[in-house]
Amino acid sequence: MNNRLNAYRIMWVLVLFDLPTETAAERKIYAKFRKNILKDGFQMFQFSIYLRHCASRENADVHIKRVKNLLPEKGHVGIMCVTDKQFGQMEIFHGKKIVPATAPAQQLEMF
């Protein structure tokens, strides 16, 4: 089996956050954090849950480090990695209707 396409090697990085938004300054910090993780290739899964498809654990570690460098002074941020195999077992519902998981955004890879 090609190791590059192994469902246990491919990773999903999830960033879960709850940042304060009571003041204009806090909302600006929230917007900047969100904008920066979007710029790094994360996509919104739910309002405060963003995810990114990564080709390997090493690639995931690069993006985790970037998120850690963006952390604001206040608020709660969680970062979690799951394998593609684990992510594929998630059941997603809109109301009571099950829907297919979102396919990862196409990523270009230079070799």
CATH code, 7: 3.30.70.240
Residue 44 is predicted with a pLDDT of 96
> Whole-prediction pTM value?
0.83
* Residue 9 covered by a domain: yes
Residue 68 is predicted with a pLDDT of 98
Residue 111 is predicted with a pLDDT of 46
Residues of the chain with pLDDT under 50: 1, 111
* Domain range for 40: 3-99
Name which of 66, 65, 38 is nearest 52 in CA terms: 38
* Residue 108 covered by a domain: no
d(CA 96, CA 58): 37
Nearest 5°: the CA angle 44, 48, 51 is: 40
- The tally of domains found in the chain comes to 1
Residue 105 is predicted with a pLDDT of 59
